[in-house]
A and B are shown apart, each in its own frame.
Chain A
Amino acid sequence: MEKLLEIENLSKVFSLGSILSRVHIIAADNVSFYIKPAEIFTLAGESGCGKTTTARIILGFEEPTSGAIIHDGKKKARNEKVWFTEGIQAIFQDPFATFNPLRTVDNYFFETVKNYKLAKGKEDAIEWIDQKLNAVGLTYQEFAGRYPSEFSGGQLQRISIARALLTNPTLLIADEPVSMVDASLRMSIVNLFKKLRDETGVSVLYITHDLATAYYVSDRIAIMFRGNIVEMGSVEQVLMNPRHPYTKLLRESIPEANPKKRWTTTVNLTELEQEEYLRKGCKFAGRCPEVMDICKGVVPADLIVNDTLVKCHLYSDENSSAK
């Protein structure tokens, strides 16, 4: 199987506190996944689950503690940014923070064209930029010489997608790209990712906490919890038939846009984030409704159930045969 990007046993440890009371937080713990060409892959989870850390490591903003990133069959070495960013581009959460409010947005485009030597002369550059803007439903005329404040959030997010497309990347990394966009325009951004995938074959690593749009847009999904991928597989399998108790909790907690499906049960929120990071066995053991003795001491293995990866003792051989 062809793999566009492969992440192998990626770990990142942050040390907090002073010398006397040092705490190690494992933000990403042996994370492994791959992305195929022309595929939308979602990394989902709550804040503090390590999804953004993983993206930052892939983009080279952060050095991993261990592990490897393999892109197009080549391993990424330290400080090797140029060939890497040509193939992988990023889109961030807040479009207003992406651009400097005192610079016109076309500035960024010309700069990128120049840095990557994408065009000869200004005419060429404008044609190149116009082509990329057309892909997101904008034109060069309506964008040239304007400042970020002259656009709406939805337009600006499209512009930042067009900017990411300039280098003809094979993979876009989108970190919460719609959470700051107005509700009525959200789907237009999400639909744009689908269109780009189908028409130009670009893959997207979609990072979000919104499982409803994740279900709508993506092909495969990985659910992260406290640095671990706890469940990974096709969206149909993971979201419509969740196996890991954490995925079940997450799926149940989403307020569905259907007044006939109101919550009937309650959740308890007691454990602290840091305590969960420092847990020895399964990180979810403190809140899990199906917790067993083994969960508190032993980290569950990555088990494959119906082509889906599940990191839970419930699905190990001795337990599933006992059922």
Chain B
Amino acid sequence: MALLDVQDLKIRFQSRDRVTEAVKGISFSLEEGKTLAVVGESGSGKSVTAMSLTQLLPKPPTCQVSGKIMLRDLDVLGMGSNDLRAIRGKDIAYIFQEPSTSLNPVFTVGYQIAEAIKLHIPGETDVEGRVVESLRRVGIRDPEKRFKAYPHEMSGGMQQRVMIAMALACEPKILVADEPTTALDVTIQAQIIDLLKEIREKLNMSIILITHNFGIIKGFADEVLVMFRGEIVERGPAEEILANPQHPYTKALIACIPRLGAKQKRLTTINHDELAG
């Protein structure tokens, strides 16, 4: 049985004068220890899909989610808030794009990581030890000292490591990484991707990687879903999609990445109306 199984997921947002269908009936599943990449541009519905996995979206009537989300034998969409709190962070943890705004500036990073541990592992006696261990795991030097640091005392790459440490503190089954490297320098991006690869092996964790950049999924994702306007337009093994994209949107997304030494006169852009029409 798949670890996570999503069937016919639909997400609609209701505003005063119109209904927006952000996700139009998508299905996918995720096996243990595998990495699924969801690729698409802003507005393609990839982030709301990720948020719906633990019901992080606004409540109806603003937002209506239908379909089925099964976490092993648990029906996530049918859960109440107490059950949801138990799976958030414990079974499905998130890291978000912007580390500087996701961390609370008035608490030390150690305190923020400890918060998750205290909630999900009530019997833990050595919370501090666990925090230090989780910081060490993401490659932060001197974790005994650094866990007393405030977010502003760290660089963007370090802050993202703290976010990952926090997400991993309770050793979740699934890590949802929503554009984890978009706000970071290319060199730091490479480090963070390597770190995620390493941790995935160590913990046999499944990852859902959400990104707009095909450049980072090579050698990282097993399967790829390409989303365009709320629908999955192409899916398949990562290597195959990169080598031989079928859908025009997938081709366009790959083509628009600037390549070193390509000597193109102009970068390729995406004509959305043509694709949709």
A is bound by B: no
On A, residues with C-beta under 8 Å from B are none
